[in-house]
Structure 1
Amino acid sequence: MIRAIAIDDEPKAIQVIQHHTSKIDNLELVSVFYNSKDALAFLKQNPVDLIFLDINIPHMSGLELLENLNLKPNVIFTTAYTEFAIESYDYNAIDYLLKPFEFDRFHVAINKAAQRIASQKKLDTFFFIKDGFKNIKLEYRSILFIKGSGNYLDITTKEKVYSPRMTFKEIIEKLPASAFMRVHQSYLINVSNIDKIENNQVCINSYKIPISNNYKDAFFKRLNLS
């Protein structure tokens, strides 16, 4: 499943993307934003696989928004302006859709995105954390959940707990959005390692991780739970 957001100050443009997205099974539009400020705040805490991005949007342009992200996302530009098409290649854009665009053209762009994201996921199966003078390799699949506390983390794996000096923002940028999800201000879980969910808690092995009200709706929607 490709998790995406749309950023555009035109409600009709957002509606078109929502309509086209609803026709594609492997594409989920997680959220929509009408200005770059709100979108940037969201992305710094909730990385996604793909962004549908207009260029002329309030607070800062789409290109400026990308410059403010440490982790450069996959982008499909959706704009009425042809003059930025060449510049979009500097951001490794997947495609450049000129408004108004029909579903067939949109679908072509999504197929390109699916191919790139699939290849990225094959390559990225691990990352490194700093532990004193050592760099420790961690496989994504080995992580059960992560608890944040200020400038430190507790990364609980199947074998042990690591406590690197890292912020939540830094660890989120290293993890694939398709595999991990925030369920609480202080907790990030590996969705594939969930055993069960009960009493507003996620049960993973012998651990019980709280689900806060702020993240509950998005979490249940992600898992197709009512």
Structure 2
Amino acid sequence: MKCVAIDDEVHALKVIELHAEKVEKLEMAATFTDPVQAADFLEKNRVDLIFLDINMQSLNGFELLESLTQKPQVIFTTAYSEYAVKSYSVDALDYLMKPISFSRFLKAVNKADTGGKSMESSSTDQIANQERVISVKSGTTIHRINLNDLLYLEADGNYTKFVTDKESIMVLCTMKDALSKVDDRFIQTHRSYAVATSKVNKVEAHQLRIGDKTIPIGSSYRKEVLEKFSN
């Protein structure tokens, strides 16, 4: 798979090069610190994948991508989480936050072989299709909840609401205890909220939506949440 890396920071570019050298299927055709030179190269040469920094001086990553008549698959690399939402709107394959670990790099590269879906996300889809029922106690009543029906969890002190399309069940347990009852199709977005990832309709920089419900994304959870929804 022929690729190009573009970043105006030499150190960041070197990290991408070193990671790419470890992946047999990647062939690094060229690297650029000047995005204008990179754009010229890409107009004249076919590549399969671009590792593209966003915040560059003469031409930012979005502008460079927009200028191309033939757009390869792109993995954005940046130190700024606020660009994540926009990267989804231009159909980026993935969005890597610096510093970039090799494991995260490899996960992104794997998507280029699976139509934008990594092996890990394929496994998650299989889990999501499996039915699993949990039991929770509200007062003297025991409720059975199919996890496929659960939309989100909302903590309120020592209580947590288990919310489905049809009902909201208040349970005497902390968010930590509630999360122990569900599986990895759920992610915590805020100290008071966790969501079923498959139920999310829209992700923004500081909040997401499930139907008509707006759910905040806390600053300490933002990086993990944005990376999760870029998969």
- What TM-score comes out, normalization by structure 2 length? 0.49
Cα deviation, residue 6, structure 1: 0.3
1:1-226 correspondence runs (5 A)? 2-116=1-115
- Distance between the aligned counterparts of 2:42 and 2:115, measured in 1? 20
In structure 2, C-alpha distance between the alignment counterparts of 1:72 and 1:44, rounded to whole Å? 9
Question: Secondary structure of the residue that 2:99 maps to in structure 1?
Answer: coil
Tell me, in whole angstroms, the C-alpha distance in 2 between the residues paired with 1:45 and 1:59.
20
Mark the runs of 5 or more structure 1 residues left unpaired by the alignment.
118-226
Structure possessing the higher radius of gyration over alpha carbons: 2
How far does the alpha carbon of each residue in 1:45-99 deviate from its partner, in whole angstroms, 9 at most, with x for none? 0020000000011311110011111122200001001011010012110100000
Distance in 1, Cα, partners of 2:70 & 2:85 = 21
Give the drift of 1:35.
Answer: 1.6
Give the count of matched residue pairs.
Answer: 117
Distance 1:112 1:21 in 2: 15
Shift of 1:25: 0.5
> What TM-score comes out, normalization by structure 1 length?
0.50
Is this contact kept in 2: 1:7–1:36, CA < 8 A?
yes
* Partner residue in 2 for 1:161: none
2:105 aligned counterpart, secondary structure: helix
- Counterpart-to-counterpart distance in 1, 2:30 and 2:80: 24
RMSD value over aligned CA atoms? 1.5
Offset of residue 116 of structure 1: 2.4
Once residues 4 and 113 of structure 2 are traced to their aligned partners in structure 1, the CA distance between those partners, rounded to angstroms, is 15
Q: Which amino acid aligns with 1:18?
A: E
- Find the aligned partners of 1:109 and 1:20 in 2 and give their Cα distance: 12
Contact 1:34–1:57 (CA under 8 A) maintained in structure 2: no
Report the Cα distance in structure 2 between the residues aligned to 1:74 and 1:105, rounded to whole angstroms: 17
CA distance in 1, matches of 2:15, 2:35: 19
Q: Distance in 2 between matches of 1:18 and 1:114?
A: 19
| CA–CA distance in structure 1, aligned partners of residues 31 and 104 of structure 2 | 21
Runs ≥4 residues deviating over 6 A: none
